[in-house]
Structure 1
């Protein structure tokens, strides 16, 4: 992931924040995280990254509270991790679309790909 997405100093900073959160999620039992947004494009300076995580097998007593803080603009998450994290099976819009599905649809309603990170491979 570093070679593919860590191509600028700013992207490396975003990746460092993301990795901090991924390690916390893995420690709580999370197995997969889905990444979306301009971070997974060729954009040189994405604003941040958007992520959602699979809650299957997660011990919520071990989840870092910042990953469950959804204050205005997810300011707490962005300050700590440089991006936003949502539970994959929670609603992303008023229609109840799950984040996992919401991330796979563009603004025009067309299907698109996302990046899936298997946390078992994370050091």
Structure 2
């Protein structure tokens, strides 16, 4: 999972992404998480770069393809989630009972692979 997350972060950073947010069992005390959930800031992104070099980052509808490449699911932070009326960044900051919770933010401008 770390390798897949690092690949996604490398590709997002190359496209101009500034921040990625990580959620799911990956950021809990669960000993063997099955995957990670993440969303990324879309501002100032080079979408042509992503379409050419990392098209699966743009295709949130094909979750199995994302999981096969990155070992997790990735969404734009402003992408609506289901029928909840929340964007993914807001949704990730809620638990299953919709109480507030923390997530991990990684500043890709300072991150080095």
Q: TM-score, normalised by structure 1?
A: 0.85
**Which residue of structure 2 aligns with residue 33 of structure 1?**
20
Following TM superposition, the consecutive aligned residue runs of length 4 or more in structure 1 with deviations greater than 4 angstroms are none
Greater alpha carbon shift after TM alignment, 90-99 vs 49-58: 90-99
Unmatched segments (≥5 aa) in structure 1: 1-13
Q: Greater helix share, 1 or 2?
A: 1
Residue aligning to 2:73: 84
Question: How many residues are aligned here?
Answer: 109
Instruction: Choose the corresponding residue for 1:54, options 41, 47, 59.
Output: 41
Q: Which runs of structure 2 are paired with 1:1-123 in the superposition (5 Å)?
A: 14-63=1-50, 64-72=54-62, 74-123=63-112
CA distance in 1, matches of 2:40, 2:101: 18
> What residue in structure 2 maps to residue 7 of structure 1?
none
- Give the deviation of 1:95 after TM superposition: 3.5
> Contact 1:86/1:99 (CA < 8 Å) preserved in 2?
yes
1:120 alignment partner, SS class? coil
Backbone CA RMSD of aligned residues: 1.0
Shift in Å at residue 71 of structure 1? 4.0
Greater strand fraction, Structure 1 or Structure 2:
2
List runs of 5+ in structure 2 lacking aligned partners.
none
TM-score, scaled relative to structure 2: 0.92
